[in-house]
Structure 1
Amino acid sequence: MLFRSGHLAHATEADTAYLDSLGLHTVFDFRNAADIKLEGPDVTLRGVRNVNLPLSDPADGAGFWRMVREGDLKTLRELLAEGRAEKRMIGSYRSIITTRLVEHGRILRDMAEDSSPVLMHCSAGKDRAGLSIAVTLLALGVDQEAIEADYLESAAAHRRYKIWRKGDPGTAPTPCRPRSWRCCCRCSTRAPNT
């Protein structure tokens, strides 16, 4: 069984109790050192193996995120205008898949060695965790439409770090354009150099 979430650094006692009820064996944390420094380490879950497996380099996007934190809206608008935001996301998604084959292989090996149920997370549970779940489901032979539907849950309206559970009417999913996902999915089913 696979679960996806945002980071667990600020999990409350109620959140921890909920996570304990899932019977998790392993938590894969895809955050890099810079993310962990900013957000904090995950809370400890009893009997759960924590594996930090960064799916991004701390230097990737550092300048971009500095502009976000500093509120440099003029430069951000210029960087992201005229389809550049979508191109940036597609490139980032491809990189997470094609340059992190060793990490994705480790996830599959660990799951095969009875490390499930598994929770996979990054900072917000959307990009790195969403893609890793998708790669895992593809490797397991799950129908691509089902994988896409699961991945597009990433577009659900939410606030960062808020736990979102199905059935919570305050966080119903919103429409999302799946183009980035489809480009990524095509990329993941080809050899890395094609």
Structure 2
Amino acid sequence: MRKFKFFLNFEKEANWLNQMAEEGFEFVGKSMGYHFRPAKPEKTDIKIDYRTFKNKEDFIDYCTLFEDCGWKHIAGTKSSGTQYFKKVRADADEDIFSDADSKAGRYKRLSQMYMALSMCYLPIFAALITTGAIDAAGLLSPKRLYYTPGLWNMAGADFWGAFLFETPFALFRAATWALFPVIIILFLFFSYKTEQHYKKLMK
């Protein structure tokens, strides 16, 4: 079974995964949504970290460290960022984090990732505007999205026929041109929200 959800709060995400386990759905991976398989309902304790690794060896050492402490790595790759751990030993610590700084640090890393993504899209968007591939004024003036010559000077049936014919193409242009600024704004917003989670935990 696959479910699609989006979280900026690791605690809420972990609580949801634990609730799914109690309902008989075991979390087995995350790729284009959360993957679950039917299982015996159980009370689980899942914790989430955010960390990427430059090489496989460091990632393996990272997972092994937690598994030696009673926490099994159940999802995540060296480059995925989000890492999921499940408590498998009764004598394991109650949390995978040793202090508040390390617990808050995952939000800082996530915030920096979203900021980096927004900065990657920004020069691409600027280049598309500079080359004329995107008409920035068209995003503010919908009339510029219509290319039919003399459209706005037409009247009656001629106007409505041309207007209705081109509107789907105009909407497609608007959606295409707005894609990059929307993505940039979303990533900046995600960066801000996760930064707030970081600051809250550091207080």
The two structures have a TM-score, normalised by structure 1, of 0.27
Superposition TM-score, scaled by structure 2 size = 0.26
Higher RCO (CA-CA < 8 Å; seq separation 6+): 1
Larger % of helix: which?
A: 2
Higher radius of gyration, 1 or 2:
2
More strand by share: 2
